[in-house]
Amino acid sequence: MMRRIAIGLFVLLLVMRLAHRAHAVEPAEMLADPALEARAREISKDLRCLVCRNENIDDSDAPLARDLRILLRDRLSAGESDRQAVSYIVERYGEYVLLTPPADGSALVVWLAGPLMLLLGGGLALQRVRRRANAAAPEALSPDEEAALAEVLHRKP
Amino acid sequence: MIVEIGHFALVLALAVALVQTVLPLWGAERGDLRLMGIAGPAAVVQFVLVGTAFGALTLAFVTSDFSLALVVNNSHTLKPLLYKIAGVWGNHEGSLLLWVLALAGFSASAVWFGQGLPLRLKARVLAVQGALGAAFLAFMLFTSNPFLRLASPPMNGGDLNPLLQDPGLAFHPPFLYLGYVGLSMSFSFAVAALMEGRVDAAWGRWVRPWTLAAWIFLTIGIALGSWWAYYELGWGGFWFWDPVENASLMPWLFATALLHSAIVVEKRESLKAWTVLLAIMAFGFSLIGTFIVRSGVITSVHAFAEDPSRGVVILFLLVVFVGGALMLFAARAGALEAKGVFQIISRESALVANNLLLCVAAFVVFIGTIWPLVSELAFNRVISVGEPFFNAAFTPFFVGLALILPIGSTLAWKRGDLNRSAFGLWPVAALAIAIAGLAYAVTSGRTLLGPIGAGLGAWIIFGALADIWGRTGRGDLAGRLSRLTRLPRADWGRIVAHAGMGSVIFAAAAMTAWVSEDIRVLKAGESFALGGYEVQMVAVNDVQGPNYSAVQAEMRVTRDGAEVVRLYPEKRFYPVAGMPTTEAAIDYGLWRDLYLVIGDPQEGGGWAVRSYIKPFANWLWGGALMMAFGGLLSLTDRRYRVAAGRGRVPVAAMLGTSKG
């Protein structure tokens, strides 16, 4: 009976995500050159801490995130461009490490879904609204209806 | 004994829910008054029974009854009372019980406040509510029973997670659940209307208050969660685009769309089928959110302790209820003929655009949330969809929404005059652009995000002011002012909620764009400059809390030599759970928050200290509160109070209206 079902998942997932969030970039890791450090921080925000849940390496306190931060700073200090440093990390850890999905192949779907939906929905809505606006003019009554109306209007109460 | 009473009440509630589902539905088909009449009392009894069960569980938590497995795993005798109570819903089983309690509460409210409803519609609404209740009660009793006893109770419990021992998070889940579950009312009204084959202005008037109530709760729940993340996580982020957050954002977006389209049904008898569909979708996404959160499928890449079997049950319920409702919709939507006609330039069209943008935004969130799973299963490609994606893909639709909002809300129904609306809004547009320009100049052009946010925020807020002023008609100032005080509360609600939205947009942009951050090692006595302030670490002390021990820094913040505030950031350790937490010290202000965090002790002495100045942070939560308050104003509008109080009608007459 003592299944470990106790801690609700809602809570658990939240917590697993947050447990390591206490402090991320340590002062000792930071580069002396402020421009280089700023670049490193910017790139870090788009790299996933691979053992965490939906957390970038800049925010994560996990040891792996720390290793990645230091690796990234080493590459940048060695004079690599942002792109070179990132692709080096992607080569080693796979594209899963990128928090922004690449815009190619099947991953294109996430990028195109919104705009396509807007076009499709917008087109449909416009067509409906147009039809609606055209239907605005009331149709003329048929002769039978005219007769019925006249009868109703002239009937004595 | 009390626990057994609670358990028994829960089983009884399931039986009552089944009765509440079957008999009224049958009665509504046959036109049998007595069978339909069962729905009301059954809903109230169900609420009382589930309330009893909830009370029993709460009592077990408060008295630390460690013969209950749930209490053992989520409580501790040393825990403060508030968190003992919050522990009731700080876990899967208890939160499910709260979910069902909210569901039964909404059904009972429909009985109490819905006295003017046609009997047949009411019977069907309550029957659908009953079916939902029965499904979730069965789910709880058969797979996640909160009342399971232990053969040998331990001496003490395992404690609630320390991160959750916090007033913000104690009340976050109840609000969120009230929001999720409140949408079930919109769903039930939609399904009942489809059964009747009729949607009219009266239906719009009945469904809108429930949607509004759910929306208010959702708004507050999301804001509380965001605020909690801000002060508790130690670096002042407020939104992470995490699946759990997205799960609450999607229903909110749909509920917002539904709120607006229900107005069109109520006032103009148009967009009926669409509104019914939205009501189904809004609750459907509540269930999808529940599924995402509890099954853990979305995050399965690094499995923690999720239980897929629960996910399967929720998925099954989702398919049955939403699938069933959609099939009913496909069969009956054609019968919902629209009456009101409108031109392309009209308030109706503006609301269609609002709905379109909100739904597309929700769709983007949905695709982004599930795509990692789909990609892995279907394309064998493991990718991440994270914060940068959502910021880039979601924001444009919200910017579009912000742009059309002031124009749409000043357009006339049926046939609007764009020129006239634009005429009133020119000053607002000029003001917004001026503010954006000023923001750009003052911040020396570091980023465009801040100025755009400031411009959009100003556009919406001043647009709302222009809107309410426009409501007062023509004439001299005194006349307009006096009319201003007599405007319906719904108008005020709209203005306040829209202005709140503007404040949220502005604050989100400002906090992201203009934050200043500092990370350094500091020894006691040392100080540093932070954006015009001087921060000095006076001392670092050990302190003892009721169920934790902590390292606490005393930080003195001065400006031009004068003391502004003393802040006490802490690093806590909870021995029972074995977990450290960071307690940021925040000096809240109208224009900025000062946010200090103490980290680990460093080799060679000193402590890691991070400090932030978060500009306009309180405008975010203030804006969210304004939105909720606007909703509340709208909810108390006279027309709903009148509709609710219109109760004392003979039964035969009410049945007559439902037949007609």
Q: Express each pLDDT in B547-602 by its tens digit.
A: 888 999 999 999 988 999 999 999 888 887 777 888 889 999 899 999 999 888 88
Give residue B295's pLDDT. Answer: 65
Q: Is residue A154 part of a domain?
A: no
Helix axes B119-143, B651-659, angle to 10 degrees: 90
A48: DSSP letter: B
B561-564, long-range: CB within 8 Å, 24+ apart, which pairs? B564/B533, B564/B594
* Pair (A94, A34) in one structural domain: yes
Q: How many independent structural domains does chain A possess?
A: 2
Contact of B36 with B126, CB cutoff 8 Å? no
How far is B114 from chain A, CA to nearest CA, in Å? Answer: 33
Q: Is residue A74 part of a domain?
A: yes
* Pair (A93, A115) in one structural domain: no
* Pair (A95, A33) in one structural domain: yes
* Pair (A81, A118) in one structural domain: no
Tell which of B323, B347, B371 closes a domain.
B347
Q: Is residue B352 part of a domain?
A: no
Residue ranges of alpha helices (H) inside B269-323 are 272-295, 308-318
* Pair (A80, A52) in one structural domain: yes
* Pair (A61, A46) in one structural domain: yes
Please state, in angstroms and rounded to a whole number, the distance separating the CA atoms of residues A62 and A24: 8
Contact of B524 with B538, CB cutoff 8 Å? yes
Q: Is residue B541 part of a domain?
A: yes
Q: Is residue B156 part of a domain?
A: yes
Element (H, E) at B583: strand B579-583
Q: Is residue B82 part of a domain?
A: yes
pLDDT at A136 over 80: no
Element (H, E) at A115: helix A108-134
- Average model confidence (pLDDT) for chain B? 86
CB atoms within 10 A of CB B524: 15
pLDDT band at A22; cut points 50, 70, 90? very low
* Pair (A31, A95) in one structural domain: yes
Tell which of B329, B347, B365 closes a domain.
B347
CB burial readout B152-170, b (16+ within 10 A) else e: eeeeebbbbbbbbbbebbb
In degrees, rounded to 5, the angle at the alpha carbon of residue B73 between the alpha carbons of residues B71 and B76 is 65
CATH number of the domain within which A43 lies: 1.10.8.640
Q: Which two tokens stand for residue B550?
A: 């902590």
How far is B115 from chain A, CA to nearest CA, in Å? Answer: 35
SS in 3 state form for A55-108? Answer: CECCCCCCHHHHHHHHHHHHHHHCCCCHHHHHHHHHHHHCHHHECCCCCCHHHH
Q: Mutate which of B384, B576, B609 to disrupt the A interface (most A C-beta within 10 Å)?
A: B384
Tell which of B293, B320, B347 closes a domain.
B347
Contact of B362 with B254, CB cutoff 8 Å? yes
Contact of B13 with B137, CB cutoff 8 Å? yes
B163: DSSP letter: G
Residue B538's closest CA among B522, B523, B555? B555
* Pair (A95, A124) in one structural domain: no
Which of B93, B234, B364 is the closest to A21 by Cβ? Answer: B234
One-letter amino acid of A9: L
Element (H, E) at B521: strand B516-522
How far is A87 from chain B, CA to nearest CA, in Å? Answer: 15
Q: Is residue B151 part of a domain?
A: yes
Phi–psi pair at B561, nearest 5 degrees: 85, -20
Q: Is residue B155 part of a domain?
A: yes
Contact (CB<8Å) B386/A54: yes
Q: Is residue A48 part of a domain?
A: yes
Q: Is residue B503 part of a domain?
A: no
How far is A72 from chain B, CA to nearest CA, in Å? Answer: 19
B225-228, long-range: CB within 8 Å, 24+ apart, which pairs? B225/B168, B225/B169, B225/B172, B225/B176, B226/B620, B226/B621, B226/B624, B227/B168, B227/B621, B228/B166, B228/B168, B228/B169, B228/B172
Q: Is residue A135 part of a domain?
A: no
Contact (CB<8Å) A117/B360: yes
* Pair (A113, A79) in one structural domain: no
Contact (CB<8Å) A6/B387: no
Domain residues for the domain of A77 are 27-99
* Pair (A92, A41) in one structural domain: yes
Domain residues for the domain of B528 are 516-615
In degrees, rounded to 5, the angle at the alpha carbon of residue A106 between the alpha carbons of residues A68 and A83 is 35
Give residue A21's pLDDT. Answer: 41
Q: Mutate which of B99, B222, B359, B360 to disrupt the A interface (most A C-beta within 10 Å)?
A: B360
Residue B117's closest CA among B205, B218, B22? B205
List, for chain B, all residue ranges whose pLDDT scores fall below the cut of 50: 300-305, 645-660
Residue B58's closest CA among B106, B6, B4, B124? B6
Q: How many independent structural domains does chain B possess?
A: 2
* Pair (A71, A108) in one structural domain: no
Q: Is residue B290 part of a domain?
A: yes
* Pair (A54, A108) in one structural domain: no
* Residues of A in Cβ contact (< 8 Å) with B608: 23, 26-27
